[in-house]
Structure formats: structure tokens, C-alpha cells
Amino acid sequence: MKSKKINTSKLQDLKKKFEFWATNSEEGGWNISSTDEGSQKMLEVEDEKKVKIQTGTEILDDFVIEEDTSDEERMIVNMGPQHPSTHGVLRLQVELEGEVVRRVKPVIGYLHTGMEKTGEELNYFQGPTNTTRMDYLSPLFNELVFSLTTEKLIGIEVPERAQTIRILMTELNRVSSHLVALATGGMDIGALSMMIFGFREREHILNFFEKTTGLRMNHNYIRPGGVAADLPDNWQKDVQDILNLIPEKLKDYDDMLLDNPIWKGRLQNVGILTTEECLAYGITGPSLRASGLDWDLRKSQPYSGIEKYGFDIPVLNESDVFARWRIKVLEIFESLKIVEQAMNNMPKGPFKIQDKKITPPPRKRLDESMEALIHHFKIYTEGFKVPEGDAYVAIESPRGELGCYIVSDGSAKPYRMHVRGPSFCNLQGLPVIMSDSPIADAVAAIASLDPVIGDVDR
């Protein structure tokens, strides 16, 4: 059979003519197309990888992001000052790349009250009313640090009963502050009943505070020279009720959360903060103890007679959000041990120092003695004078190292009062925790650092 010979050269001419007509250029090829600007190549030959992705022969992992993305692909999202989960008025400017946080800038100052300036206008007797409102979840600690610094400047020691009462009240305050941290942290992460549980237990402690100091929060109780009033009658029964109640409720929380796979999956290996980072940024408190270092000012630099009590410091090694949570629960148990020892060993004696120049006399004496009236008048109008000098005292608050630096110039008002708030420093660790992790972990990270914005902004 004779095969018809196909004139391939004519076909190629036709092909070239067709391509010239289609692409309006002499080069030819399937990837050239004619546009308004002339003919252009549609896809470079080098982009084989792109062709493969398009045709499905190569699969990329979704969460591997190349390092060299330009700034136009990042998005800045504002977690504004009014937000249900930022623990107060904290504003975060979050630079997102997809779902991964690249940079975080916390903007603070939305609660700045000028307390350090107010502290220069109030005398030393009125000072605790001002400092107590800084860290509003643990007000007795703020009053204690101010009183300790003033007493160091004057150079006096308070009597033993006053020291024991101070330890009793502050350790109960540590329990109530940790309960709020657990409650709000749980609510942020999603365990809504944790909020109700935490505040329910806190009511018992606040009831005791109201009986003793007169107020549920912001009590002006721990003053320079001792405490404001003695403990009420039958206080041992109230404290024993609290000591019986809280450990069994903590077992309820553990039943709900400790082996919960959702809880563990959301909190373990999230928000790692190593010991070196903590020391470099000055972060103290439960975050430092959750990263493996056993530093607690109650053991290393004890204050107000706390070295006489036997208690342990819980330390964990994982330094993630779950470890910080566990540390808070364990610290509640330890604080209850201290409260029990303080209750059993309460010494008898005066609850404030007997120096009439510093603490006011009891009110019955005002009817009897002229001297008592004069002292009362001078203390409540002018205040007591403090010798010149400066002092820095630090105690262990539920959030870390709380310090107070007072400079005195010999008059009845501080010349400069500065409070070193732990949350101000701990917040510098937030960009470290949140970088390079998904945005969904941001709320858990903030909740674990436990910032109180009153302490940050003062």
C-alpha cells in the first residue's frame, strides 16, 4: 500500500502562521499570548514547581511558611483596650502572617491614675489608701510593702502579734488572688463553670475580710506601725471553716480539669518561657517557678516573720501554660498550711506598736487623757515625720516581686514613692511567649502571665 506522504513542511508553515496569528509574535510556543501590551509569556519555563503545584503532582504542607515573605503580606490586628479576654484594659497590636503571630506590641497606659504623684501629696498615714488600689486583686500586699518600707525608714519593729496577723491576712489574700486568676483564666480558655467556682470560694474569704477590716476589697488595714484593728471574736472558727472548705473544692477543680484532654491539649507545650528569658526580662513569681528555678522571696529574703513557718515552694520544669496553672493550684495548698500555722500560734500582745508618735491611741482614751487627744490630732492632721533617707523593700506577691522605693526628706509626706509592680515587668514577656505561635493561643498566653493592669499602669 502506498502511504500518502504528508507534506510536513507545509504543516509546519501552517502551524507557524497559526501561532503568529494567535500570539502576535515571531517566537511561537503555547505559553505566549497576545495582550494589549503586545505578546507576553504566560508562565516561565523555570516555574516547574508552580506547574507541579497546579497540576497536583507536588503537595505543600500548609503551615510551613517561607521565611522571605514581604511585609505586605502581614496584617496588623488590634486587640483593643475593650476586650473580654485581655484581663483589663490592655491593648495588643498583633502582626499576623496568616494565623501565626510574628510580632506583638503591648500598648499600656489606659488605666494610668497618677498614683505615684498622689503618693507625694498624702502623708505616710494615708499612704496605704493610695497604694492599696494598685494591684486590686491583692490589696493587702501593696499595703504591706508600703508599711514595711516606711518602718525600715523609721527603724522600728512591729510587735509579734502584728506580724502574725499580717502573715495570716496576706496569705489568705494570696489564696483569693490565685482563685481569681484560675477563674478568669479558665473562663478565657473556655471552661465557663470555672468562673463560677472560683468566685464562689472567694466569697468565703472576702466574708472573713469584711468581718476583720470592714471592706471586701481595698481594705486600708495594714498600716505603718502594725495593723488597724484587732481580729474579731471567734475568728478561729471562721478561719477553720475556710481551711476545711477550700481543699475539697480544689479537688473538684482537679476532677474537672487535670486529666481533661481538651484542657491538656490547649495548654501543654504552649507559651514556653525558659529560665534564661525570665531572668533576662526580670520576670518573677509563678512564671519563674514554673520554668525550673526555685526562687521565692518568702524563703530567700523573708519578711515579717515568715521564716518561722514550715512550707514548701512548688517548682515545675515544663515552663508552659499548664505548668503555670498547676503552680497556682499547688501554691494555694501551701498558703493554707501557713494560715493554719498562723492560726494555731497566734501570740498575745499589742496589735500595733506602742510608740504614740506613730500609731494613734485607742478611741476610749481620748475622753480621759489630754496627751492622747493631742497625739490623735497630730497624727490625723499632719502625720508622723520620717527621718531622711531612702529604702527599697521587696516582698513576694501572687504575681512576683513587689517592691516599694521611698525617698524621704524628713517631712510627713514621701518625697518620692515608687512601687515596682510585678505585672509591669511580667508583661514584657508577652511578646516572647506569643511570637511564632498561632493566634488562637494568644488568650491562653495572656491568661497564664496573669497581668493586673492596675499594677502595670499605676
Residues that bind other proteins (CB under 8 A): 80-84, 88-89, 108-118, 121, 129-130, 133, 136-137, 180, 184, 195-196, 199-200, 202-203, 206, 216-218, 279-284, 293, 295, 300-301, 390, 392, 394, 401, 403, 405, 407, 409, 415-416, 418, 420, 424-425, 427-428, 453-454, 457-458
Query: Which CB sits closer to other proteins, 219 or 266?
Result: 219
Query: Which CB sits closer to other proteins, 25 or 93?
Result: 93
In angstroms, what is the minimal distance from the CB of 420 to other proteins? 4
Torsional sign, CA 15, 20, 21, 23: positive
In angstroms, what is the minimal distance from the CB of 413 to other proteins? 12
Tell me the C-alpha to C-alpha distance, in Å, between residue 79 and each of 50, 120, 297. 37, 35, 34
Query: Which CB sits closer to other proteins, 279 or 346?
Result: 279
Query: Which CB sits closer to other proteins, 84 or 261?
Result: 84
- CA pair distance 142, 133, nearest whole angstrom: 8
Give me the half-sphere count of Cα atoms (radius 13 Å) on the Cβ side of residue 251.
Answer: 4
In angstroms, what is the minimal distance from the CB of 198 to other proteins? 8
Q: Are 168 and 140 in contact (CB under 8 A)?
A: no
Query: Which CB sits closer to other proteins, 300 or 369?
Result: 300
In angstroms, what is the minimal distance from the CB of 208 to other proteins? 14
Q: What is the 3-state secondary structure (H, E, C) of 176-219?
A: HHHHHHHHHHHHHHCCHHHHHHHHHHHHHHHHHHHHHHCCCCCC
In angstroms, what is the minimal distance from the CB of 108 to other proteins? 6
Torsional sign, CA 50, 51, 54, 58: negative
Contacts of 401 (CB under 8 A, 6+ apart): 284, 285, 297, 394, 395, 420, 422
In angstroms, what is the minimal distance from the CB of 64 to other proteins? 29
Query: Which CB sits closer to other proteins, 198 or 361?
Result: 198
Q: Is 22 exposed, middle or buried (0-12, 13-18, 19+ CB in 10 A)?
A: middle
Q: Are strands 226-227 and 222-223 parallel, antiparallel or unpaired?
A: antiparallel
- CA pair distance 234, 241, nearest whole angstrom: 11
In angstroms, what is the minimal distance from the CB of 454 to other proteins? 5
In angstroms, what is the minimal distance from the CB of 268 to other proteins? 27
Q: Are 107 and 91 in contact (CB under 8 A)?
A: yes
- Per-position DSSP letters for 387-401, written without gaps between them: -SEEEEEEEEETTEE
- Per-position DSSP letters for 246-277, written without gaps between them: HHHHHHHHHHHHTT-HHHHHHHTT-S---HHH
Q: What are phi and psi of 438, to 5 degrees?
A: -65, 155
Q: Are 125 and 143 in contact (CB under 8 A)?
A: no
CB atoms within 10 A of CB 358: 24
Query: Which CB sits closer to other proteins, 113 or 354?
Result: 113
Which grid coordinates belong to 80?
Answer: 483593643
Give me the half-sphere count of Cα atoms (radius 13 Å) on the Cβ side of residue 353.
Answer: 18
Query: Which CB sits closer to other proteins, 175 or 394?
Result: 394
In angstroms, what is the minimal distance from the CB of 361 to other proteins? 26
Query: Which CB sits closer to other proteins, 109 or 232?
Result: 109
In angstroms, what is the minimal distance from the CB of 405 to other proteins? 6
Query: Which CB sits closer to other proteins, 124 or 281?
Result: 281
